[in-house]
Chains A and B, each alone.
Chain A
């Protein structure tokens, strides 16, 4: 029987002891079995390390000084052996068929470089009513243009380039803009592949001030597009 290509799953974690185990379990439960799981602990000071290590030897665990999400993901990629790379945030979950759906898409269209999927957003069950009500989810299921749904061929990722480790918020926006500028051949599957948890800690990302960090990222992309079209 032909050997299935190895998929490296990178989970960067920073102080997420509460949800990390569920994230890892959702990867171990994949119906596609040829996977390598790399956990990059970005300097957690809570019990994340113990949670991660409890899954040894099914995972590979690496600790680094806190350097931000982009640097942590890049570290994971540099250690990875897979022909394909996927990412999961330490507080999110994959559906069991996530990688199977996506590998099937690659098989039927070998020219594809990356496959995304839909995401279902959910309010973390332990939130109190007030917090739950403060989060608006305009649509529960939405096309998931974010790291947590993407499965990408290694050579395509390298073609676009690594994450910018200087960017703390919007690292994927920056990466995806570069990918679009370079005409990444991607597909959005209609299936839900990732469940995205909305909770108190990650809502910090949605503070208004943080959104303003998107502006220089967009500006840099506009500049690149103009200089490329010259």
Chain B
């Protein structure tokens, strides 16, 4: 059995929502916010679901046409950006099976109707830092229930 990895969103400091084919993320620790587009939306959703790194690559290879090298390289770059921005953490897991992305790709050649792979799009915005950092965070558990906002 080989090692693989999966990812975890750094909640509750990191909040996200998928709205109209875009994922908007806020990091409450930094006051920065982010936009993910194209396959970035799918990768983020897979991360949220706890899908492994191998699973993420496999899904993309199954759903898109494109060179496995390109898919792997752009996804690696995307994931390291998410990590650098402290939006996700990496967890080591045991992989149950070896994934051969190239083999998947050749199976895919039969089906030409799949869309072309477009790299995940990632954009960072720092213009609202001061405003978003103004709210102090309190550590009370949600279930403890402060009175609701008026």
Contact = CB atoms under 8 A, between A and B. Distances in A.
Verify that A and B bind, or say they do not: yes
Interface of A: 14-15, 42, 69, 119, 121, 134-138, 142-146, 168-169, 172-173, 176-177, 180, 198, 200-201, 203-212, 214-216, 218-219, 222-223
6 contacts: A14-B150, A136-B136, A142-B134, A205-B149, A219-B22, A222-B35
A209 B135 CA distance: 14
Indicate the size class of the contact surface on chain B: 20 to 34
Contacts of B35: 222
Nearest to A222: B35
Interface of B: 12, 15-17, 19-20, 22, 24, 26, 28, 33, 35, 125, 127-128, 130-140, 142, 146-150
A-B pairs, top 10 by smallest CB distance, nearest first, are: A215-B17, A204-B149, A145-B131, A208-B12, A14-B150, A219-B19, A219-B24, A145-B130, A204-B146, A135-B138
Nearest to B28: A211
B134 A119 contact: yes
A134 B138 CA distance: 6
A180 B19 contact: no
A39 to B, nearest CB: 16
A218 B142 contact: no
B150 A207 contact: no
A205 B130 CA distance: 17
Contacts of A172: 131
Contacts of B134: 119, 142, 144-146
